Amino acid sequence: MKKVVAIYPGTFDPLTNGHLDLIERGSKIFDELIVGILRNPEKDPLFTVNERKEVLLRMTKRFANVRIDTFDGLLVDYARSKGARAVLRGIRAISDYEYELQMALMNRKLDPQIETVFMMPAEAYSYLSSRLVKEIYQLGGSIRGLVPELVEQRLKGKIKPKVIRPKR
């Protein structure tokens, strides 16, 4: 039988434990899972593509069938170029659903051969996002358990937390 290759696309700025949870789940059901980091300067990311790639490479070493790559342009074109039949996306809460449904249906319109597969991360990560991690870290809050230690170290090198004490 033909092996099933899936793309797990995203910005990963930075990688969270929710992303890692999904990568682990995806690696169990697909023969090969390619984590595709979008090279998108419009989003004004905190970490460069190479920094994000390096973190992902180190954090996914233990999964033999996971590869890390970067891409530009349309996701469906990239998926086709890799021989992928599926796109993996995580859905944390109902609020994700509308955006994800729109993307999945638009990708299906662009290429009906590619299926979007949704998976739910562990409940502990259902409220977690890269955006909140950056915001909390910047304001001096704890992000312990939300991102790998390596990401916490990398954040230290990028952001100097500004702790603002409320006035009494």
Residues carrying an active site annotation: 19, 43, 92, 130
If you write DSSP's letter for every residue of 96-153 in order, what string do you get? HHHHHHHHHHHHHHH-TTPEEEEEPPPGGGTT--HHHHHHHHHTT---TTTS-HHHHH
Using the minimum distance from each CB to ligand PNS, give the nearer residue, 29 or 74: 74
**Chain contacts with ligand PNS (rule: CB under 6 A):** 9-11, 38, 74-75, 103, 106-107
Q: In what order do the strands lie in the sheet with 32-38?
A: 66-71, 32-38, 5-10, 86-90, 115-119
Using the minimum distance from each CB to ligand PNS, give the nearer residue, 103 or 119: 103
Least gap, CB of 38 to ligand PNS (angstroms): 4
Least gap, CB of 70 to ligand PNS (angstroms): 11
Q: For the purposes of burial, counting CB atoms within 10 Å of the CB of 102, is it exposed (0-12), middle (13-18) or buried (19 or more)?
A: exposed
Ranked by CB distance to ligand PNS, the top (closest) residue is 10
Using the minimum distance from each CB to ligand PNS, give the nearer residue, 7 or 155: 7
Least gap, CB of 58 to ligand PNS (angstroms): 19
